[in-house]
């Protein structure tokens, strides 16, 4: 199992980037191909974003309010909710380069 800050990554996720480098962090959900990435800015308040493997344009998936995810764990949880059907990734109300992850009833 991959590690993040010396701790195991969530079950079902693999780290694709070099361990120890937070600002280029890149993870993949093994079963579905969803990805979570860090934006690269060391002081970003909302540094994580996701990529839906079913989106042919590979737009950044962000939170309901258009921000990235504040923590890696929150990004994992939101993506896992999409995979489980509790949330949806939608293009509605987004710019050309982003998608939002919303609770299922809000899409």
Q: Which residue in 59, 52, 45 sits closest to 79, CA to CA?
A: 52
pLDDT in tens, 4-20: 554 557 899 999 988 77
Does the pLDDT at position 51 exceed 60?
A: yes
pTM beyond 0.75: the answer is yes
Q: How far apart are CA 52 and CA 2, in angstroms?
A: 21
Let me know: does 39 contact 49? Beta carbons within 8 Å.
yes
**pLDDT number for residue 9:** 75
**pLDDT number for residue 2:** 54
pLDDT in tens, 25-40: 899 999 999 999 999 8
């Amino acid at each position: 199992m991959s590690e993040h800050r010396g701790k195991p990554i969530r079950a079902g996720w693999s780290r694709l980037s070099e361990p120890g480098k937070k600002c280029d962090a890149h993870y993949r959900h093994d079963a579905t191909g969803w990805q979570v990435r860090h934006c690269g800015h060391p002081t970003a308040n909302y540094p994580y974003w996701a990529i839906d493997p079913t989106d042919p344009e590979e737009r950044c998936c962000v939170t309901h309010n258009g921000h990235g995810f504040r923590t890696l764990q929150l990004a994992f949880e939101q993506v896992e909710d999409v995979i489980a059907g509790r949330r949806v990734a939608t293009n509605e109300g987004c710019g050309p380069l982003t998608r939002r992850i919303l609770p299922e009833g809000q899409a």
